Amino acid sequence: NIVLTQSPATLSVTPGESVSLSCRASQSISTSIHWYQQKSNESPRLLIKYASQSISGIPSRFSGSGSGTDFTLSINRVESEDFSIYYCQQSYSSLLTFGSGTKLEIK
Amino acid sequence: EVQLVESGGGLVQPGRSLKLSCAASGFTFSNYYMAWVRQAPKKGLEWVATISTSGSRTYYPDSVKGRFTISRDNAKSSLYLQMNSLKSEDTATYYCASQPGPRAFFDYWGQGVMVTVSS
C-alpha cells in the first residue's frame, strides 16, 4: 500500500497568516493526490484534485502543488472558517489511501 | 443539488451482520462510480469499497475484503454495503461518496451513518 505522511500533525496559526501543509507519499504517485477539509462533526469536502486542480465553489485562497512524492496544500491568509482538519488522499493505486491528517488550529 | 443520504447504522454484536444503504439524488447516479469511506471515532479516513457504474467491478482494501460487499441498484439510485462478520474495529461513521472513476477522488459525500460493533 502507498503510505501518505502528513506534517505537521497540528499547526497553530493566527487568522490572516498564510500556511503550507505537507503530504509525502511512500513512492512516486505523479500528481494523483487530492485534498479534503473536514470541519468538526461534518463530512469531508473536496478542496483540490490531482495535486493542483481547483474545485468549483472552493475559495481561491486554497491551492495545491507538487508531484512525485511531495505535495503541498497552501492556504493564503487563513480565515476563521478554515480551522479544521485537512487530509490528503492518493489515487495512483487502486488501493486508495488517506494521510492521517493535519489539524489547523487557532493560535 | 447532489444529495447522498445514508441509513441502516446502529449497534450490532461482534460476528453479526449489518447492511447500510445510501440514497442518491441530484445527479445521474448510473454514470458514477460509488464508494464507502469510514472514520473510526477520533481517527482519520479509511476507504472501504468502490463499485463501478454497472456494478460489475468492485474494489476493497484487505481490511474488509471477504467480509464486506458493495452493491448498487441504478434503477433506485441506491448504493449498499453488506457487512458480515463484524469486528469491534469496524466501529466507525460510514460515508457514502461518489467517484468519477475507480482510481480517483471522492467528490460528493453523504452526512454519514454510525455503526457500533459491541457486545
Question: Do β-strands A53-54 and A62-67 pair in parallel, antiparallel, or remain unpaired?
Answer: unpaired
In this prediction, residue B102 carries a pLDDT of 87
Place of cell 459525500: B109
Query: Is A34–B44 a contact, with Cβ atoms under 8 angstroms apart?
Result: no
- Choose the closest CB to B61 out of A36, A45, A95: A95
Cis peptide before B61 (omega within 30 of 0): no
In this prediction, residue B75 carries a pLDDT of 98
Q: Compute the half-sphere exposure of residue B102: CA atoms within 13 Å on the CB side of its CA.
A: 14
Q: Which residue of B has its CA nearest to A29?
A: B103
Distance CA A86, CA B57 (A): 30
Question: B80 to chain A, minimum CA–CA distance in Å?
Answer: 19
**B36 touches A: beta carbon within 8 Å:** no
Q: Tell me: the pLDDT tens digits for B90-119?
A: 999 999 999 999 899 999 999 999 999 999
Q: Which residue of B has its CA nearest to A46?
A: B107
Question: B87 to chain A, minimum CA–CA distance in Å?
Answer: 21
Residues of A in contact with B95 (CB under 8 A): 43-44
**B95 touches A: beta carbon within 8 Å:** yes
> Does B1 have pLDDT greater than 90?
yes
Q: Which residue of B has its CA nearest to A42?
A: B111
The per-residue pLDDT string of chain A (107 residues; one tens digit each, 9 = 90 and over) reads 999 999 999 999 999 999 999 999 999 999 999 999 999 999 999 999 999 999 999 999 999 999 999 999 999 999 999 999 999 999 999 999 999 999 999 99
What is the total residue count of chain A?
107
Distance CA B108, CA B16 (A): 30
With residues binned 3-state (H G I as helix, E B as strand, rest as coil), the percentages for chain B, rounded to 5, are 10, 50, 45
What mean pLDDT, rounded, does chain B reach? 97
Report CA-CA distances (Å) from B40 to A34, A70, B15, B76, B93.
21, 27, 18, 29, 6
Residues of A in contact with B46 (CB under 8 A): 98
Q: How far apart are the first and last CA of chain B?
A: 40
Question: B45 to chain A, minimum CA–CA distance in Å?
Answer: 6
Q: Tell me: the pLDDT tens digits for B11-34?
A: 999 999 999 999 999 999 999 999
Average pLDDT (B69-88) is 98
Q: Are B44 and A101 in contact (CB under 8 A)?
A: yes
Question: B81 to chain A, minimum CA–CA distance in Å?
Answer: 18
Q: Are A22 and A33 in contact (CB under 8 A)?
A: no
In this prediction, residue B69 carries a pLDDT of 98
